[in-house]
Amino acid sequence: MLSAHQPFETYPALIREAAHEAGGVAQVGGGVPAMCDGVTQGQPGMELSLFSRDVIAMAAGIGLSHNMFDAAVYLGVCDKIVPGLAIAALTFGHLPAVFIPAGPMTTGLPNDEKAKVRQLFAEGKVGRDELLEAESKSYHGPGTCTFYGTANSNQMLMEIMGFHLPGA
């Protein structure tokens, strides 16, 4: 549902296929809940943001608790999921691990252009169709959030620590 996590929908199948081609087997050990502060802002669910890290760590830990895995691949983006997965990875530190982000998010219509169209609409100089077109074009694509906030900071930190491939 969330644009930052959307690419992960197809990753398990791609990982299984790559492991199979290399002579290995890959299985999904579990899934974790994901939320976005940008989507939940102003909603009651926003209060769950920081608590979700603990739930994510526990969910990933439960998935790994079967003692069936030789390594782990963690799929995550943002300041809630990545720390939660890192806690799980450290708890199961005997397993080699790699973190895979969703990649960079493509940018939509820049804020200044969107604001200009909104202003023109407020002045009655453009119609509803032009406003809706600008709003639709402002949506970003799938991937790690485009602003340099905690989502990107987490991704950069994971790369610096060697958990991501360079440039991921």
Per-residue pLDDT of the chain (168 residues; tens, 9 = 90+): 777 788 888 999 999 999 999 999 999 988 888 887 777 878 888 888 888 899 999 999 999 999 999 999 999 888 888 899 999 999 999 999 999 988 877 777 888 898 999 999 999 999 999 998 988 887 677 887 766 667 778 888 888 988 888 877
Alpha helices in 22-149 (DSSP H): 37-40, 49-64, 78-91, 111-122, 128-138
Domain with CATH 3.40.50 in the chain: 3-105+147-161
Q: Do strands 72-75 and 97-100 pair parallel, antiparallel, or not at all (unpaired)? A: parallel
Count of H-run helices and E-run strands, the chain: 7, 2
Looking at residue 144, the DSSP 8-state letter turns out to be B
**Residue 148: what pLDDT?**
60
Report the C-alpha gap between 97 and 140 in whole angstroms.
Answer: 30
Q: How far is CA 125 from CA 8, 117, 128, 136, in A?
A: 42, 9, 10, 19
As a CATH number, domain 3-105+147-161 is 3.40.50
pTM above 0.85, yes or no: no
**Residue 22: what pLDDT?**
97
